[in-house]
């Protein structure tokens, strides 16, 4: 049976997704070949093929940066992986630790290096990350992008912890991971969502208080009430410009506001001084390094945390998985099973 890889031609929507016969890669020095078991989708993957991501997608590239599989071959000099290891990969090809460089930010799996939507993926040895043993393949294939960016937002530069309150805005996978990570770190969590159904699911996931923004449009006032007027120490805004002014208003003195969402500002949205004249930090972050990834996995293992999976599609229904991700309002990761 021939191996198969999906490939994507950007700017054509899902019409640009097709399959090709894949030759099993041969690893060079310090490279690892992985037989893929599962891969999952992120909003980044949609932005890439739409042409709305900062890094252009190389035509014909195999998409998806999230995945997991078994090491089946290693090149000369490889010490970070052995045959049979269950591994995933980093988001960036060559960011291992420390501050990121602009150059390294442009080398990404699923953008200009072949990603995980295939029977096999070739990784640089430095990209290999071992996954928590208690996770299923679908769960382990959900960590690289959304899981790690939420972790980085909550742990750098100053980690959230006991005594802190974390506000999560949005119920995409980044927001869901932020709830789970914040609880592992011992923080109180307030979440903002758009329906009572999602509110109940957020409570089951660990959120201490949940605000339905449709019932409470001025939810920043409720956040202040819930914190005795002080505001929260950390805001993980997984929506973007439409909610940024309210996220800023929810922040405590010296709060850290992490803007992860990529949704554009609403028409006519022109806040005056969005900081409310408070001293606080607003930042964007670029997922995280390999060292960050490994630290997150150690904590996930310690707490037995499991990523939330919404739906799993078979490999041959990859296009349907993309369509469901964009149109189906999933609550949790959308995964493609490859074996």
What is the structure's pLDDT at 268?
59
Query: Looking at the predicted structure, is the pLDDT value of residue 274 above 60?
Result: no
pLDDT, tens digit (0-9, with 9 covering 90-100), for 221-269: 999 999 999 999 999 999 888 899 999 999 999 899 998 866 655 565 5
Report helix angle 318-327 to 43-50, nearest 10: 100
pLDDT at 205 (0 to 100): 97
Most confident option among 26-35, 245-254, 273-282:
26-35
Mean pLDDT score of the chain: 93
Tell me the pLDDT band of 72, cut-offs 50, 70 and 90.
Answer: very high
CB atoms within 10 A of CB 65: 27
Per-residue confidence (pLDDT) for residue 2, from 0 to 100 = 83
| The pLDDT value given to residue 241 | 81
Is 192 strand, coil or helix?
strand
The tokens of 283 are what? Answer: 């930042």
Nearest to 238 by CA among 202, 191, 279, 275: 191
Q: What is the mean pLDDT of the segment spanning 295-305?
A: 97
Split at pLDDT 50, 70, 90, the class of 270 is low
Q: What is the mean pLDDT of residues 56-66?
A: 97
Mean pLDDT value across residues 77-91: 98
Give the mean model confidence (pLDDT) for residues 332-336. Answer: 98
Q: What angle do CA 253, 181, 225 make, to 5 degrees?
A: 40
CA nearest 235: which of 218, 213, 220, 250?
250
Q: Model confidence at 276, in pLDDT bands (50, 70, 90)?
A: low
pLDDT (0 to 100) of residue 275: 55
pTM: 0.92
Of 273, 272, 231, 238, give the one whose Cα is nearest residue 254.
231
Query: Percent of the chain having pLDDT more than 70?
Result: 94
pLDDT tens digits, one per residue of 144-166: 999 999 999 999 888 999 999 99
């Amino acid at each position: 049976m021939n191996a198969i890889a999906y490939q994507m031609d950007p700017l054509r929507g899902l019409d640009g997704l097709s399959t090709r016969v894949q030759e099993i890669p041969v690893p060079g020095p310090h490279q690892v070949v992985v037989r893929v078991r599962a891969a999952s989708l992120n909003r980044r993957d949609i932005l890439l093929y739409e042409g709305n991501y900062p890094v252009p997608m190389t035509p014909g590239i195999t998409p998806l940066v999230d995945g997991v599989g078994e090491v089946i071959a290693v090149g000369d000099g490889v010490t970070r992986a052995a045959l049979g290891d269950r591994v995933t990969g980093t988001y960036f090809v060559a960011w291992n630790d420390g501050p990121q460089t602009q150059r390294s930010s442009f080398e990404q799996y699923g953008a200009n290096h072949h990603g995980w939507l295939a029977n096999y993926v070739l990784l640089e040895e430095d990209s290999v990350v071992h996954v928590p043993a208690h996770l299923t393949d679908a769960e382990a294939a959900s960590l690289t992008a959304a899981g790690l960016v939420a972790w980085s937002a909550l742990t750098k530069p100053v980690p959230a912890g006991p005594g802190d309150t974390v506000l999560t805005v949005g119920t995409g996978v980044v927001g869901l991971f932020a709830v789970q990570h914040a609880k592992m770190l011992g923080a109180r969590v307030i979440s903002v969502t758009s329906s009572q159904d999602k509110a109940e699911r957020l409570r089951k996931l660990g959120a201490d208080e949940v605000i339905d923004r449709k019932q409470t449009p001025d939810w920043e006032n409720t956040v202040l009430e819930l914190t005795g007027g002080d505001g929260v120490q950390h805001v993980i805004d997984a929506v973007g410009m439409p909610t940024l002014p309210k996220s800023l208003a929810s922040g405590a003195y010296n709060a850290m506001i992490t803007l992860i969402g990529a949704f554009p500002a609403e028409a006519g949205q022109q806040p005056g001084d969005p900081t409310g004249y408070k001293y606080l930090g607003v930042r964007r972050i670029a997922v995280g390094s390999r060292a960050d990834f490994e630290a997150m996995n150690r904590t996930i293992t310690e707490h037995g945390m499991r990523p939330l999976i919404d739906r799993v599609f078979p490999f041959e229904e990859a296009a349907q998985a993309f369509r469901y991700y964009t149109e189906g309002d999933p609550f949790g990761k959308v995964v493609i099973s490859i074996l």
